[in-house]
Amino acid sequence: MMKITETSIPGLLVIEPRIYRDARGYFYESFNERLFREHGLIFGFVQDNESRSGRNVIRGLHYQLEPHAQTKLLRVIEGEIFDVVVDLRKDSPAFGTWSGIEISAENKLQVLVPKGCAHGFRVISEYATVFYKCDEFYHPGHERGLLYSDHALAIDWGIEPDKAVVSEKDKSAAPFSAAEFNFLYGKT
């Protein structure tokens, strides 16, 4: 059993798994293909990724162009993050908007990020380990980034800009007005 909550971005879902707790600890299924199919969530995940980052690190906003766009199923194994998704699908009712949610090892929430969206997160806890499944392999030639601090997007990362720890690559990503994307709503 899992609870699925839709967000303001079509296809961006928050998944709350059923957790079994007892004196030994806990158990839950983080992914069950049959349950996902029963909810119409059919993906052929082909790659798992994991990252560990310290407090105030911002990673993103990342995406891959078609024909190598990725659906991602993300969860936090250690710590807590503020997860952010930006809709880059032309004609989407949420095109150019962002959605954010706190997910943690404690709350066990998962986020399903649809193709055609840029994804990133900020680490809230001392450290955070993030694990995610992708339905397309990494293709460096199709990788793109969206500037996390773009004023046009006005993402509230919950941190003063001078305290954020960001890679040079992410600092030099394109603003929304100059970003390259080739996604069409309903076609990805």
Buried/exposed code over 24-58 (b: 16+ C-beta within 10 A; e: otherwise): eeeeeeeeeeeebeeeebebebeeeeeeebebbbb
How buried is residue 95: exposed, middle or buried, by Cβ count under 10 Å (0-12/13-18/19+)?
A: middle
Can you tell me which residue has the tokens 């250690």?
78
What residues pair up with 16 in beta bridges, in sequence order? 3
- Are 29 and 35 within 8 A, CB to CB? yes
Question: Could you please report the per-residue DSSP string of 99-115?
Answer: EEEEEETTT--EEEEPT
- Are 175 and 147 within 8 A, CB to CB? yes
Beta-carbon count within 10 A of 4 CB:
14
Q: Which residues are catalytic?
A: 62, 132
